[in-house]
Amino acid sequence: MRHSEYSVIVIGSGAAGLYAALKLSSKITLPDGVLIITKSSFGESNSMYAQGGIVGVMHQNTGDSIKQHVADTLKAGAGLCDKNTVEYVSELSDEVINDLINCGVDFDRDKNGNINFTLEAAHSFKRILHSGGDATGKGIVTALINKIKDDKNITVAEHSIAVELLINSGNECKGVIFYNALTGEHEVAYSSATVLATGGAGQVYKYTTNPEGATGDGIALAYRAGAIIRDMEFIQFHPTALALNPKSKNRFLISEAVRGEGAKLINKYGNEFMIKYHDKRELAPRDIVTRAIYKEMQASHSDNMFLNATIIEKNKLLSRFPTIFNRCKDNGIDICSSPIPVAPAAHYTMGGIKADINGKTSISGLYAIGETASTGLHGANRLASNSLLECVVSAYELADYLSFVNLEPPQIIDSTILAKIEKYSEPISDIDYDIETLKADLKEIMWKNVGIIRAEQQLKYAINSIDKMTDEFRKGRCISIPEYEYKNMLIVSKIIAESALNRKESRGAHSRSDYPQTEQYAEHSYISYKNKMEILEYA
């Protein structure tokens, strides 16, 4: 096995990982450099596909205020946001977004050169910056990649999946084992600071806006390492994903910003229905719009509702939403003249590895930033466009924090770690698993039983099924990235289902048909893996 050493290891090349690597390299002297491990091609991530934009409470946007953004975020979070975190992120947004602009991110501007801010659901002010119309993520990721390409401190290992964190007997993280699909070998990378920037877990659901790689790996790795995982029952289902063919695997997102610009939800008879559900109609909080569409679909036995964007002026539609326009056009829909078929899809993982805004987790030397983390910004329901902001603020703060930490690679590797590494040389069985079918079965179970509306019987069925599927799968090391992903998906699915079963109330995105009430006091749920025992508790 190849062994190497770095000052910092960053796992993932989405907005959080890329920006963290860049900031680390520019703020700190790193004798052993930064290693980015990323399981696909460089930059392939959820971030790449982000459409609507990024929240910025900017000085030049007169009328908006941190107080108002904090109030909107807390309201959406349904009692589970950490107010200090929300305030901190909001306050830093101006500074960090200006830094992104200095890094080369081009936000859309009007003809006078002023930033164009837009509105999204449950925001009380136009405070969303966007890039390329509806290609904000691509704008951010591409600019960061261009910067990193010139940075000699940063090494990138593509098509390499992190598979096990190296935790010593003192509960300190000293690096990671990864599987390099280009060589077919496992490798060990040591570091005293390992950063999980591995994104969310939308792929555990049959219908999702997330690309293939969003399999919750970082959460599974951290869980297996004994880190505290929080609030995993809170999965955000986006209300409007393109629903062309009920059988199609991934659902392309129709950004909330289209509703922000005036599009209306209608049923197959052309009738609007959101007024029945909320006075803000299409711009009600995301969980409410999702459940409204879901209920309308069930009541009318339809596979989808429709989004009518034809009421938006044609030139505006074309310039604001070129990606959506083209994708729909490729599928035979002219959004200027026809309503778009839409249905909900799993979109965002609100819970994750418990971390503070510097990325610190419950394990020393292990950091988590971006969607994989649970910092307390989102609570039970994320406000649109707050997540890209969280990614970049956490990355920025992590780099500051690590400037005060000893980043020398570990001098002594203890026997606990050596025993872990040893296991990766053991022989394995040559059973051939049909991973695509196994993944599809799991996703179907999660969609039907741990989906938009949940109930005890279905949740228990899901847990039993996942246990059985886990028993039937390979133990120990795997032989490919998809095998590792499936293993992680089983772990994360179980955590989501257990957390959903345990929360006997409805709150934010977690909706129980058997417990429709919201308890007076909001409590977080925690889950961790210790001595082969799962501990699930509230506090």
List residues near ligand FAD by CB under 6 A. Answer: 11-17, 37-40, 44-47, 49-54, 136-137, 161-162, 197-199, 209-210, 213-214, 217-218, 253, 348, 370-372, 385-388, 391
Binds 45: which of ligand FAD, ligand SIN, none (CB < 5-8 Å by kind) = ligand FAD
Nearest 5°: phi and psi at 416? -65, -45
Question: Considering CB under 6 A, how many residues would be counted as binding ligand SIN?
Answer: 9
385 lies in the binding site for ligand SIN (CB under 6 A): yes
Q: For every residue of 301-323, which 3-state class applies, written as one string?
A: CCCCEEEECCCCCHHHHHHHCHH
- Cα-trace Rg, the chain: 22
Active site residue 477: no
Binds 17: which of ligand SIN, ligand FAD, none (CB < 5-8 Å by kind) = ligand FAD
Residue with tokens 């399981």: 39
Binding-residue pattern over the window 29 to 68 for ligand SIN, x denoting contact by CB under 6 A? ----------------------xx----------------
Contact 371, 199 (CB under 8 A): yes
387 lies in the binding site for ligand SIN (CB under 6 A): yes
Contact 531, 226 (CB under 8 A): no
When the beta carbons of 44 and 356 are compared against ligand FAD, the nearer one is: 44
CA 377 distance to own-chain centroid: 13
Sole window of 94-102, 192-200, 248-256, 353-361 interacting with ligand SIN (rule: CB under 6 A): 248-256
When the beta carbons of 255 and 362 are compared against ligand SIN, the nearer one is: 255
255 lies in the binding site for ligand SIN (CB under 6 A): yes
Contact 493, 450 (CB under 8 A): yes
When the beta carbons of 234 and 273 are compared against ligand FAD, the nearer one is: 234
When the beta carbons of 251 and 360 are compared against ligand SIN, the nearer one is: 251
Q: Which residue is nearest to ligand SIN (CB)?
A: 52
Per-residue b/e over 182-209, b at no fewer than 16 CB within 10 Å? eeeebbbbbbbbbbbbbbbbbbbbbbbb
369 lies in the binding site for ligand SIN (CB under 6 A): no
The least distance separating ligand FAD from the CB of residue 456, rounded to whole angstroms, comes to 30
The least distance separating ligand FAD from the CB of residue 265, rounded to whole angstroms, comes to 19
257 lies in the binding site for ligand SIN (CB under 6 A): yes
The C-alpha atoms of residue 488 and residue 160 are separated, in whole angstroms, by 15
256 lies in the binding site for ligand SIN (CB under 6 A): yes
Of 286, 382, 454, 512, which residue is the catalytic one?
286
What one-letter code names the amino acid at 307? L
The least distance separating ligand FAD from the CB of residue 165, rounded to whole angstroms, comes to 10
- Nearest 5°: the CA angle 263, 265, 270 is 110
When the beta carbons of 52 and 370 are compared against ligand SIN, the nearer one is: 52
Sheet strands side by side (includes 154-157): 154-157, 34-37, 8-11, 194-196, 366-368
The least distance separating ligand SIN from the CB of residue 50, rounded to whole angstroms, comes to 7
Sole window of 314-322, 333-341, 382-390, 450-458 interacting with ligand SIN (rule: CB under 6 A): 382-390
The least distance separating ligand SIN from the CB of residue 384, rounded to whole angstroms, comes to 4
The C-alpha atoms of residue 397 and residue 400 are separated, in whole angstroms, by 5
Residue 46's Cβ-side half-sphere holds a number of Cα atoms within 13 Å equal to 29
When the beta carbons of 141 and 366 are compared against ligand SIN, the nearer one is: 141
The C-alpha atoms of residue 334 and residue 103 are separated, in whole angstroms, by 36
What one-letter code names the amino acid at 323? T
Contacts of 138 by beta carbon, 8 Å cutoff, 6+ apart: 48, 49, 50, 131, 132
Residue with tokens 């399999």: 215
When the beta carbons of 323 and 364 are compared against ligand SIN, the nearer one is: 323
The C-alpha atoms of residue 352 and residue 372 are separated, in whole angstroms, by 5
The least distance separating ligand FAD from the CB of residue 65, rounded to whole angstroms, comes to 20
The least distance separating ligand SIN from the CB of residue 146, rounded to whole angstroms, comes to 24
Binding residues for ligand SIN (CB under 6 A):
51-52, 253, 255-257, 384-385, 387
Question: What positions carry a catalytic annotation?
Answer: 286
